[in-house]
Chain A
Amino acid sequence: MRRETLALLAVFAVLALVPVLAELTGQTSWTRLVGQALIYGMAAASLNFILGYGGMISFGHATFFGIGGYVVGILYFHFDEGTRFLGIIPGTGQMLLTLPAAILVSGLAAALVGALSLRTGGVQFIMITLAFAQMFFFLFISLKTYGGEDGVMVRRTNSLPGLNMRDKATLYWVILVVAAGYYLFLRQLVRSSFGQIIAGIRQNERRMTAMGVATYRYKLAAFILSGMGAGLAGALMVNFLRFASPDMLHWTRSGELMVMVILGGVGTLAGPFVGAAALTIIETLLSRLTEHWMLPVGVLLLAVVLLSRGGLMALIARMTGGRGK
């Protein structure tokens, strides 16, 4: 077996043992922490696909994270009430239905935002993605039916046939399996013919056009795929935390996702997961020590951006003697 495969299996095994170890040592909050880090890792990895591999600096990625979450929340709300969404779509609490629905809806939203935003570039692209994110943010705030600013509660985690999803450890393992699957999906995507075109567009869009590539189409496809990934992560998060709120779509959340990508290492597969874990753990540990935890996080981020190139993944690569990207 190749070294990379071995490393991935080892990491997966360790992560799978987290609930058991947490139970044994009495540190049960670790399961929650690592689960959250895995979900943010997926969201950050989906952003990294357009940001790191595709060179599109989207400042509104939390939108799709939040939309995915709201799909779960709204479907549960109607399931609970026995009503229909817009009088047509019945609610559900089945994960096999809610996750695909979340992926689909966030993909549609990404198609809309991407189709318009990708007509611009540079600073304007950053700002227009931010503008769309704000629009969705205020849209969800104004939906009184679904709790407005407070968001919507999901009193029971979505169910999966044959599993007791109310058990925290079971839910954690489901999240781990989905996250691992998503990691493998991204790895495949980066190696594919499509991934190669995307990498080319990041490096030199004019050259790709001169080669006969209609770059807009490829960028849009990447944007949609990325939004779908964020939607999936958001759907898991709402299952995990059992509520969806506009806070998931706030622009600082988009900023945090970018921070995770940069912290871990732009344009690497594992980087966003490492960055998400680092940020989640740092935040949790620091917030136990001081209410001013944002200050050291800000300093750390500033130091990473100004001083290091390549984030934590480059550091790990240097330490293990491998080569960084």
Chain B
Amino acid sequence: MSRVLEIAGLVKSFGGLTATDHVSLTVESGEIHALIGPNGAGKSTLINQICGELAPSAGRIHLAGQDITRLRADERVALGLGRTFQITSLLEDMTVRQNLGLAVQVREGRNFAFFDNVARRREIWDETDAALAETALGPRAGVLVADLSHGEKKQLELLMALARRPRLLLLDEPMAGLGHLESQQMIETLAAARTGCAMLLVEHDMEAVFALADRISVLVYGRIIAVGKADEIRANPEVREAYLGEEEA
């Protein structure tokens, strides 16, 4: 098994506050690694450093063996780091098909072509239509993103991230705000996609975490207090106290 993501000794402090406190974490290829922790534990800060939206104060991040600590966000994506947003972030004035088509186009390249016609690039639209047809979004292809339901937007965002064929997918609370049925669909979609890429899953929905994750890391106050398989985490007294205890209360 090769290592897709390796974070070593990552530190991020804002003034006196240490939001990320010497975090080390790995994601192996084919693995779904869940990151859980109470609100304010520093999950978003960690995600933003992996994506390149925040520069860490210290530590290293490697993607598939390559040091990406100092790379721009878009360069990391080009190297195989995909992500979804906690609050969906899409091109609202375009249709579902145009959104996914653009994601495919970006991967295919030739984006500096001034004299082609994007509507006639068959390789883009064949793949887009095929991908949409496999999902519940198929009949919604012509709908403007602004008119989609919350669950549909989450679905589309995931499709767009996968269209890049990432080595590693960062999922920032993919279940947030979804109804029970939609959550089930999302879990199935993720389970189906795991053959293609490794995932780092930040999630509050424990049902989803236990259903999907191979390993779980628990982040509390910027520090990882436990790593292990679902059973080990469930049994860990420290975790129960810091996190699960809170849930049960």
Task: State the A residues within 8 Å of B (CB).
Answer: 188-189, 191-197, 199-200, 203-204, 206-215, 218, 221
Contacts and interface: CB of A to CB of B under 8 A. Distances in A.
A170 B85 CA distance: 58
Contacts of A195: 118
B112 A212 contact: no
Contacts, number: 82
Contact of A203 (B51, B93, B107, B117): B93
Sorted from nearest, which 6 A-B pairs have the closest CB atoms?
A212-B77, A203-B91, A193-B113, A212-B78, A214-B74, A207-B89
**Which of B73, B78, B160 has most chain A Cβ within 10 Å?**
B73
A208 B89 CA distance: 10
A209 B73 contact: yes
B73 A207 contact: no
Interface in B184-210: none
A203 B94 CA distance: 9
A213 B74 contact: yes
B114 A194 contact: yes
Given A188-B115, A210-B73, A212-B78, A193 B91 contact: no
Given A193-B112, A193-B118, 5 more contacts: A191-B117, A192-B116, A204-B91, A211-B106, A214-B74
B77 A211 contact: yes
A193 B106 CA distance: 9
Contact of B113 (A194, A206, A208): A194
**Which of B75, B103, B110 has most chain A Cβ within 10 Å?**
B103
Contact of B111 (A188, A197, A204): A197
A188 B117 CA distance: 8
B72 interface: yes
A189 B113 CA distance: 9
Contacts of A213: 74, 106, 111
A50 to B, nearest CB: 15
25 contacts: A188-B115, A192-B113, A192-B115, A192-B117, A192-B118, A193-B110, A193-B118, A194-B112, A196-B118, A197-B105, A200-B91, A203-B92, A203-B93, A203-B94, A204-B90, A204-B92, A208-B106, A209-B73, A209-B77, A210-B85, A210-B161, A211-B77, A211-B106, A214-B74, A214-B75
B78 A206 contact: no
Interface in B97-123: 102-103, 105-107, 110-119, 121
Contacts of B119: 191
Given A191-B118, A192-B117, A203-B93, A211 B164 contact: yes
A215 B75 CA distance: 11
A285 B80 CA distance: 60
A200 B102 contact: yes
Contacts of A206: 89
Contacts of A188: 114-115
Contacts of A192: 113-118
A107 to B, nearest CB: 14
B83 interface: yes
A155 to B, nearest CB: 37
Nearest to B119: A191
A288 B16 CA distance: 68
B211 to A, nearest CB: 26
B77 A207 contact: no
Contacts of A196: 102, 105, 118
Contacts of A204: 89-92
A45 to B, nearest CB: 16
Contacts of A199: 91, 94
A218 B111 contact: yes
A210 B83 contact: yes
A34 to B, nearest CB: 29
A52 to B, nearest CB: 12
Contacts of B113: 192-194
Contacts of B111: 193-194, 197, 213, 218
